[in-house]
Structure 1
């Protein structure tokens, strides 16, 4: 049976652009323990003799703070431990064989610092709450099998997440015991999938796809697990809907292989748009990459993202961005996705509400959500979760994890803008501290060096130092005021040259780039709570008294942005109620607060 194309899968596989046929999901019930005294390392909780230390169970990959985990404890627990065993069935499921003898243990994300043991032996460690990591555990499994424990081979994970450490990139996770203001419950430990797979001695680890619309080619940069043997070749085959588009075979030397696949069909200047990716036509090319015994399935989209003459350009055409702020937080599972289907439903809801884009706010989102953005057609702004102090440690941690995420998400066509900083969080004094200005500028330069194919915003909202898009946050409650403030180029010039809506300057270094589009990238924030969804401490930037009042207030703000001849797009705050922030267009269980057809008409600028 032919393995299906990666783009046609159901989103369950945790790494959607590098899919192998055989794998084993390690999600489900694990043994679990709190280690509030941080004595587990000294007492060797990773060994078989310490199994009794794990005094409760948790459902992975849901954080222990969440109800879905089966624990639901939101208190301070800076160190936690996990344990489960794997047996012959898990290894059989991943297809270990002579031409695929290496076993890889993958973690989608563990917040914040993780140590891992297999069979009582140390596998490795990782720091970064949102970035993936993996270990080759082949020898550890062989040693454990030699030990002959009939109960199976234990995997033990120690996760450390200090709620008081402000140098950790934490995003909207609160450092207080209880949520306050715009922050909410913490996410500790494993919160994205854990899985096993078997690979050859030399395996494909990462694929970066870079389409060239003008040249009609696709460039591939492929990273290998180790240098290929002399004489090895790597083959790439691209197709669309079963129709071959282009193939190439190149020598595989070293650990990085580069190849360019010509697409002859794209030479027809009148027909090349038939394959382009956009929210209206999310066409994806299927890709099969083969190196010896290793075959992986991938996909890509032919699209470009740029800015020019005050407009955002998608596929070299001006494109008006209708975006919504999405925090990716669920009451039952917190930052973890409730399921793959929940992620698909989230992307579809955003589209159904009339948006063509989403800004993933203060979170490195599960790659499976990006898969649904790719397949359903949704533009994405990728944003870094903030640390809340400016220290060498905070800088180092942010840069390292940001680099890992740009690498992870490079090939998703849905991602069209990078946002490494938001509202001067972590660089609170950037307006007058040159160190913070240099840091913000360096993040932009680093991002452009890693990925020159997308616009970058230095500091979303205000106090920009070097941004491809001049983004503004403005929570003015009156639609009339918003209409006047953004109703002409002269009005926006006055705002940029003076003090911004939040009392902060728009620019803190250099002159305004005339090519940069102006976008209102946070606005709205209208709170409405009915009796059925009463929330303690509910608040928003303004409040509505009834469903009709809510719809009228939101409609007036959206109409004001659509009326601006200068704005190149907007991002409405926000998609869903999040904790005490009740300013969503939908409730926390994703029920629209006004008829969905009415919200859609307002978002599209079609409301009367």
Structure 2
């Protein structure tokens, strides 16, 4: 039985949460609203005029939510540009005394307007982060009509990530995503309920800090917590709610653990369960199940430490695209991808230009994979772009805050949207401001300001280097003192730091390399590409991947790497998996390459 099998068996019970849209705040009373909705295009923007969307015949087709209309799984499947789309679904909701109903949208690209029974109740701008609406005041009958209008012009001033802003795909930009593309669900809660909790571990003191935010009617209440590990009690607590907030630090040390704590790590992804109960003068009124991991991540000198032990990151770039689903995936697809990531020898992923489904982070927590979370890029610097970016950033951080697997936030990528950052003071200030804003919202994780090149303020020096020649790749970093303050990549030819900034001893890693193309015939388009010269045959490709990875792993002072990429994505055929997310190569051979055959730390046999 290998270590991966042991991990899956140890966390089998946790997999029962896989189908909950928010596994870290799971209540009993919820239901998915995914599935068939009424749908309409509105190119002339007539739906909102005179409430035309309420008139018979406006909705002239159906769509399968949460897939965007551009995908096959949506059952609409057209690549025509329709910037305004409408959705409608009627559901049965029985209004109850002392209960509220929260309507959740996990992502709608880009601006969403929501009507309940014909009443406009909410507007949200930002295509990547979740929002919720308390629809209780608008419930009149048991049959409730939900209507959503989504508008997305894919402007370069809005964070669009890997969506093409041109009429067709180009380079590494792909099919657009318009409208609803993540989970839609309804949750029943108490009139007063726990809206959010932020959990911050402190492994040095064996404590977990809980910070609760309570919403709804203001009544005298307290939060109680019961913490267990694999069903065995660890501790419990209670704390009064003051001004809709409750904070407490709980001692989670235990004699049951070998060294006071059951640490979360890639080798041992231990998770504590916790049940939160909101109690009023009349008794328990709200209850939610969650979990947490006791994990610490920090930098010190040239190294990164996980739980006070040096940690070498072996990451794979994951863009999260699926052949028939676009950016939308089932929990089983997410699970299968991450099991393959472990199988191929990686210990983490860099989620690239996408804010992923919460169940992805949950799976990383369970399987012991570290993760980099990344803000999708805009592509033209302007006051509007700054406003749009900073509007979504706090929600991105909130979505990832409680997941022990998440160790790094990446804010910008390859100077996209800040193309003049090398000499541009305003663009440099923007990236620095985003860095410090992230630290203000979450000081517990590492932050990369502008991944790839032209860094300003950053916790890691990360370089993208797609040099396909192992010999000259090695030569570029022979003198690390020159490389970290120079232009080491022979492909980008960019400076590691923007003008006025210099290397300050941060840990160094190659955060993108490889990208070796191997087309297995799963792409139906005319032209495909990868980095470097196209090689013939699987053996030649494996040999190239092996040689490049060996060079990167042997560079002096490296704290890790990230290989490009996990899967083929539309015109890009440089994945280790094909468009159907099936193996191109023997995973055992890849494991030997990426795991490096080197093991550190104690070995108990």
TM-score (norm 1): 0.92
Residue 291, structure 1, aligned to residue 278, structure 2 = yes
Q: Is the 8 A contact 2:523 2:570 kept in 1?
A: no
Structure-2 residue corresponding to 1:326: 318
Structure-1 separation of matches of 2:461 and 2:124: 35
Displacement of 1:331 in angstroms is 1.0
Structure-1 separation of matches of 2:456 and 2:216: 40
Residue 555, structure 1, aligned to residue 555, structure 2 = no
Structure-1 residue corresponding to 2:483: 495
Structure-1 separation of matches of 2:560 and 2:390: 28
Displacement of 1:482 in angstroms is 2.2
Q: Is the 8 A contact 2:210 2:247 kept in 1?
A: yes
Structure-1 residue corresponding to 2:359: 368
Structure-2 separation of matches of 1:535 and 1:86: 40
Displacement of 1:227 in angstroms is 6.1
Change (3 A) 1:533 1:306: same
Residue 602, structure 1, aligned to residue 593, structure 2 = yes
Displacement of 1:267 in angstroms is 11
Structure-2 residue corresponding to 1:31: 38
Structure-2 separation of matches of 1:532 and 1:409: 33
Structure-1 separation of matches of 2:433 and 2:230: 42
Structure-2 residue corresponding to 1:185: 175
Residue 212, structure 1, aligned to residue 202, structure 2 = yes
Pick aligned residue for 1:20 from 1, 4, 27: 27
For residue 594 of structure 1, give the secondary structure of its aligned residue in structure 2: coil
Residues 222-241 of structure 1 aligned to structure 2 (within 5 Å): 222-226=212-216, 228-230=218-220, 232-241=221-230
Change (3 A) 1:531 1:215: closer
Displacement of 1:218 in angstroms is 0.3
Q: Is the 8 A contact 2:520 2:578 kept in 1?
A: no
Displacement of 1:479 in angstroms is 1.6
Residue 507, structure 1, aligned to residue 497, structure 2 = yes
Q: Is the 8 A contact 1:529 1:535 kept in 2?
A: no
Residue 258, structure 1, aligned to residue 250, structure 2 = no
Pick aligned residue for 1:315 from 293, 307, 324: 307
Change (3 A) 1:313 1:266: farther
Residues 421-432 of structure 1 aligned to structure 2 (within 5 Å): 421-432=412-423
Structure-2 separation of matches of 1:287 and 1:579: 41
For residue 458 of structure 1, give the secondary structure of its aligned residue in structure 2: strand
Residue 281, structure 1, aligned to residue 268, structure 2 = yes
Residues 551-590 of structure 1 aligned to structure 2 (within 5 Å): 551-590=542-581
Q: Is the 8 A contact 1:238 1:246 kept in 2?
A: yes
Change (3 A) 1:536 1:378: same
| Alignment deviations for residues 91-146 of structure 1 (CA, whole Å, 9 cap, x no partner) | 36xxx6444x111111111001000011111121101101111111112112x45x
Segments of 5+ residues of structure 2 without an aligned counterpart are 1-10, 280-284, 599-605
Structure-2 residue corresponding to 1:76: 81
Structure-2 residue corresponding to 1:55: 60
Change (3 A) 1:444 1:461: same
Residue 40, structure 1, aligned to residue 51, structure 2 = no
Structure-2 separation of matches of 1:459 and 1:568: 18
Pick aligned residue for 1:125 from 123, 134, 154: 123
Change (3 A) 1:586 1:265: same
Structure-2 residue corresponding to 1:148: none
- Report the aligned-residue RMSD: 1.8
Q: Is the 8 A contact 2:378 2:385 kept in 1?
A: yes
Change (3 A) 1:394 1:600: same
Structure-2 separation of matches of 1:233 and 1:329: 43
Displacement of 1:371 in angstroms is 0.8
Displacement of 1:377 in angstroms is 1.0
Structure-2 separation of matches of 1:242 and 1:606: 36
Q: Is the 8 A contact 1:7 1:298 kept in 2?
A: no
Which range is displaced more, 72-81 or 523-532? 523-532
Displacement of 1:484 in angstroms is 2.9
Displacement of 1:319 in angstroms is 0.6
Displacement of 1:592 in angstroms is 1.9
Residues 328-477 of structure 1 aligned to structure 2 (within 5 Å): 328-337=320-329, 339-477=330-468
Displacement of 1:226 in angstroms is 3.5
Displacement of 1:495 in angstroms is 1.7
Structure-2 separation of matches of 1:554 and 1:6: 37
Q: How many residues in Structure 1 have an aligned counterpart in Structure 2?
A: 579
| Alignment deviations for residues 500-532 of structure 1 (CA, whole Å, 9 cap, x no partner) | 411211112433122x11000000011111346
Change (3 A) 1:363 1:395: same
Structure-2 residue corresponding to 1:138: 136
Displacement of 1:376 in angstroms is 0.9
Residue 305, structure 1, aligned to residue 297, structure 2 = yes
